């Protein structure tokens, strides 16, 4: 299906992206379940094309500029390139870390390690699984592979967050894939954003149609 004039991606391409994100994030949560005893309630992914100049506002709204938000950002490179953002709003990242380090805390008093280091380490541990596995599976389904830059951790409303948001070229358009998740029974929720820009668009369109074509 061809995109209509003025459309960045067609409805069919959005539908394929949505299904691929669903599959990729499902795989990532299964990987996470192998590491920690947790059950993740999934939701239907949301695919949006964010208009020119709107990406910084979209991100500010999504992250909610909350100083308690914990954010891990990881760039990926290849035919498919962009950023993965794992966001735990309103301090729920700390609740998740408590879960992650439950066992370690029993063995080693937490006062031996500064809290910010524990938080950062835990968030990186989770992001390695959720961002890496999701983008990795997504790329695999589209017949490519990506390389990753080291992840960075920051909080909403921080200079790092502001710098990240303002780092996007306002003249470009981005495709944003968002999936919300809920760690059931643990009172922790968050979301994963995958942002990819105009530079991947031609490749992405072709890869999406090749993927669907392999089932025809």
Partner 1 sequence: MISKILIVDDSPVARKMLINSIPKDKGYEIFEATNGQEGVAKYQELNPDLVFMDLTMPVLDGYKATAKIIELDKNAIIIVTTADIQPKSISNVMELGAFTLLKKPAKADSIVDAIEKVELKLANK
**Which positions touch partner 1 (CB under 8 A)?**
12, 15-16, 18-19, 22-27, 29-30, 33, 39-40, 42-44, 141, 212, 215-216
**Alpha carbons 31 and 193: distance in angstroms, whole number:** 18
Q: At what angle do helices 115-141 and 92-100 cross, to 10 degrees?
A: 90
Encoded tokens for 22: 């669903």
Nearest approach in angstroms of CB 90 to partner 1 is 24
Q: Which is nearer to partner 1, 111 or 214 (CB)?
A: 214
- What minimum distance in Å lies between the beta carbon of 190 and partner 1? 16
Q: Which is nearer to partner 1, 3 or 22 (CB)?
A: 22
Least gap, CB of 29 to partner 1 (angstroms): 6
Q: Which is nearer to partner 1, 25 or 80 (CB)?
A: 25
Q: Are 195 and 87 in contact (CB under 8 A)?
A: no
Smallest separation, CB 215 to partner 1 (Å): 4
Using an 8 Å Cβ cutoff, are 37 and 100 in contact? no
Q: Closer to partner 1 at the Cβ: 18 or 65?
A: 18
CB of 28 to partner 1, least distance (A): 10
Nearer to partner 1, 41 or 110 (CB): 41
Query: Helical H runs in 39-91?
Result: 55-63
Give the Cα separation of 207 and 204 in Å (integer): 5
C-beta of residue 97 within 8 angstroms of C-beta of residue 123? yes
């Amino acid at each position: 299906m061809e995109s209509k004039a003025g459309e960045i991606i067609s409805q069919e391409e959005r539908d394929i992206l949505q299904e691929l994100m669903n599959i990729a994030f499902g795989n990532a949560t299964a990987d996470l379940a192998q590491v920690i005893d947790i059950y993740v309630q999934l939701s239907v992914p949301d695919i949006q094309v964010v208009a020119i100049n709107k990406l910084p506002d979209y991100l500010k709204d999504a992250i909610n500029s909350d100083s308690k938000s914990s954010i891990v950002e990881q760039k990926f490179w290849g035919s498919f390139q962009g950023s993965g953002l794992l966001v735990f709003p309103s301090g729920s990242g700390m609740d998740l870390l408590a879960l992650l380090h439950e066992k370690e805390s029993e063995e080693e008093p937490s006062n031996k390690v500064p809290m910010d280091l524990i938080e950062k380490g835990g968030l990186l541990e989770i992001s390695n699984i959720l961002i890496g596995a999701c983008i990795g599976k997504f790329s695999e389904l589209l017949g490519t592979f990506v390389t990753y830059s080291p992840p960075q951790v920051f909080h909403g409303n921080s200079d790092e967050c502001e710098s990240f948001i303002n780092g996007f070229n306002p003249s470009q358009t981005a495709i944003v894939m968002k999936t919300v998740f809920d760690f059931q029974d643990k009172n922790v929720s968050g979301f994963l954003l995958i942002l990819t820009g105009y530079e991947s668009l031609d490749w992405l369109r072709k890869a999406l149609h090749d993927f669907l074509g392999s089932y025809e």
